[in-house]
Amino acid sequence: MVATNGMKRIVIEPVTRVEGHGKVTILLDEKKQVQQARLHIVEFRGFERFIQGRPFWEVPVLVQRLCGICPVSHHLAAAKAMDWIVGGEKLTPTAEKMRRLMHYGQFFQSHALHFFHLASPDLLFGKPGDPLSGFAADVAIRNVIGVAAKFPDLAVQGVMMRKYGQEVILRTAGKKIHGTGAIPGGINKNLSITERDFLLKDIDQMVEWSRSAVKIAKDYTVEHLEKLAPFGSFDSNHLSLIREDGAMDIYHGNLRAIDSVGKKIFDQVDYQRYLDYIGEEVRPWSYMKFPFIRSLGPEKGWYRVGPLARVNTADFIDTPEAEAARKEFMAVTKGKPNNISMAYHWARMIELLHSIERIKELLHDKDLQGTDLVAKGERRDEGVGLLEAPRGTLFHHYRVNKDDQVVMANLIVSTTSNNEPMNRAVAKVAKDHLSGVEITEGLLNHVEVAIRAYDPCLSCATHALGQMPLTVELVDHEGNLVSTRSKN
Amino acid sequence: MSDTINFIIDGVEIQGREGQTILEAAEAAGIYIPRLCHLKGLTPHGSCRVCTVLVNGRPQASCTQPVAEGIVVESESERVQQIRRDIIDMLFVEGNHFCMFCEKSGNCELQAMAYRFGIPTPKFPYQFPKRGVDASHPDIFVDHNRCILCGRCVRASRDLDGKHVFDFVDRGPHKRVAVNAEARLADTNLDASDKATEVCPVGAILRKRVGYAVPVGKRLYDEKPIGSDIEAAKTK
């Protein structure tokens, strides 16, 4: 461990209860003040390289293996790029609605998983009036098992909601995980009446539970706003896809970026031209790239993606209950973008409700039983596919040679976009809560909670080679190891 | 004189005919003997050895071994099953078979065989051979990573298409399927309608741009294990 610029490094590794693994380095200066934080990701995944040479129609099925939590995002983003390759980007109504149903199903299960299984232990065990005490609650209870013991109804809801989302995916993609439903230019199946009726059976229960999840997240945030607002928070730009009329649309749209007070940086940008607007920077200490808005440069052009960004960028949500929830959410910041890290949880639950409202709508749409499944047109050699994954905007970009082989792939996953924001969140938490040069259990947990708000999928942004124990190292500005703290 | 030949498979008396192989006679009697290189309509090849049976105690490839009066054939015994299981295992580790994203999944005879034999993962170490793909042909994609050297394409091209597009080159562990051209499939006279393009049991020779068109659940081996059609004939 080499210390630079007269700073000390405090290392926390890995972050537990995020999908995948991470390590945190907090850099201190000689005065023991926090200068910077790095969510330190050195693992390398390599998908962009090893799909080169593979036939393009294989890619939507292959690249989704990046992740086991939201593979549907990669499956669909790649399929959307391949739609361009086969000239079938204008999908048939059945194909588009089947894909949307698959995507909403995935949103529902992924958001339920994150809120109930990963995040709720942080939110449920605080002392009255002191939410931050919950972040440092005994690790023996601050986990999903602890939630199940103290809040059994909630734990069951989380499991059943996740299951419901997976059932939607099964009936649209063919499998609950890593299906094959989306093919270049369309979809390989429709929704049978039997499948539709199966999904309709529990839909009202799911809507009801989603409403109550929004309420839990809202009440928690509003009740503790004073203490949560500064926690890991900072002003930032926000980016997402947006429908042409300004509505939130997680499957398809154009790019919109706004600054921290809501001024548009760009709007309705055709994502086939994303490279004109988004650049990527490489830093020596991480395999993750750092995307930025070109017009603002790498220093100021970083942005947030995901539920918070999407609720901030949207003019409205086109399902009634989620729209009502959005209005309440925006009222907290008087209609301006919400820059509170912990508000991600509330925004995520608004999207959960939106997803289930859309699923209900779609299940009543007869187009899902249509038989026109695939569109084809003029063959192209390049395609970009974007969608809003549960964790944020997902970019897939491919070039294909005349023999149908992939020759170039560029993926920007949501966690990569949230890379710098997570660093900022950790730095903020460390600045506010680090005292002295000792990492307390409490601080360690605070850092984790801040990162977890972003729901990072580190295995998706890169990949961990084996599991590491949680270790905290304190290194002084001359590079000497001062103390080590470990936790399993 | 009758041309019926009486012999025994796993204790059951079977009547075969002169000129039949053990595999054919068994099949006619509704007994499925697993096979990969063998395909009805192609000259028996005897190369994959998955159809190995014990004939009077000696291992033989049942797809090439003719029936003979009074022989005692062991097919379903644990010893024979173990031989077959090991052969299937070796076929997996010799190539680069990634069923999880292969478009042949669900329609692949090798994968189906592994399921039939209850092989979740090979017991032998993966060899990870370095093999290439040939995407040059406008309609056909060849992925040598998945080739099991069954020779079906070689025989179909030669015997059914009369073309000789494919053949084996090199020997031993270096043996591979090559094309009748300097290097690329595009330079052969292979046509997308050739029989040779339809016989591959694995995902080595594929029609381009149609992968994954059949949804999971509707694929050849999604519902019923490989060989069940032959066994169903016996039940009737």
Q: Say if A426 falls within a structural domain.
A: yes
Q: Which residues of A touch B141 (CB under 8 A)?
A: 55, 404
| Among the listed residues A264, A270, A214, A218, the one whose alpha carbon sits nearest the alpha carbon of residue A239 | A264
Q: Say if A76 falls within a structural domain.
A: no
Q: Say if A442 falls within a structural domain.
A: yes
Interacting residues of A338 by C-beta distance below 8 A, sequence separation 6+:
A308, A311, A312, A329, A330, A332, A347
CATH of domain B4-76: 3.10.20.740
By Cβ distance, the residue of B101, B136, B217 closest to A403 is B136
Confirm if A270 and A254 have CB atoms less than 8 A apart.
yes
The single-letter DSSP state of residue A463 is: -
Residue A165 banded pLDDT, cuts 50, 70, 90: very high
Distance from CA of A320 to the nearest CA of B (A): 34
CA distance A464 to A43: 5
Residue A37 banded pLDDT, cuts 50, 70, 90: confident
Q: What is the pLDDT of residue A464?
A: 29
Q: What is the pLDDT of residue A20?
A: 47
Task: For residue range A83-116, list pLDDT tens digits in order.
Answer: 999 999 999 999 999 999 999 999 999 999 889 8
Q: B72-74 and B4-9: which strand pairing? A: parallel
The rounded mean pLDDT for chain A is 87
Q: Which residues of A touch B218 (CB under 8 A)?
A: 189
Q: Report the domain count for chain A.
A: 1
Average pLDDT of the residues in A262-269: 98
Q: And the tokens for A32?
A: 């023991």
Q: Which residues of B touch A55 (CB under 8 A)?
A: 135, 141, 206, 208, 211
By Cβ distance, the residue of A61, A175, A188 closest to B101 is A61
Confirm if B151 and B45 have CB atoms less than 8 A apart.
yes
- Collect all residues from A whose CB is shorter than 8 A from any CB in B: 53-55, 57-58, 60-62, 65, 86, 173-175, 178-181, 183-184, 188-189, 374, 403-405
Q: What is the pLDDT of residue A183?
A: 98
* Domain B87-207 fold: Alpha-Beta Plaits (3.30.70)
Domain residue spans of chain B: 4-76, 87-207
Q: Say if A27 falls within a structural domain.
A: yes
CB contact under 8 A, A57 and B101: no
**DSSP alpha helix (H) spans, A269-413:** 274-277, 297-300, 307-313, 320-332, 344-363
Q: And the tokens for A71?
A: 């593979």
Q: What is the pLDDT of residue A440?
A: 77
CA distance A127 to A131: 7
Which residue segment(s) compose the domain that A425 sits in? 8-43+419-487
Task: For residue range A375-405, list pLDDT tens digits in order.
Answer: 999 999 999 999 999 999 999 999 999 999 9
Task: For residue range A168-207, list pLDDT tens digits in order.
Answer: 999 999 999 999 999 999 999 999 999 999 999 999 999 9
Distance from CA of B29 to the nearest CA of A (A): 36
Distance from CA of A468 to the nearest CA of B (A): 26
Q: What is the pLDDT of residue A487?
A: 47
Q: Say if A55 falls within a structural domain.
A: no
Distance from CA of B235 to the nearest CA of A (A): 31
Q: Say if A370 falls within a structural domain.
A: no
Q: What is the pLDDT of residue A1?
A: 38
CB contact under 8 A, B133 and A405: yes
Q: Say if A168 falls within a structural domain.
A: no
Q: Which residues of B touch A61 (CB under 8 A)?
A: 101, 103, 211-212
Position A79 pLDDT exceeds 60: yes
Q: Say if A469 falls within a structural domain.
A: yes
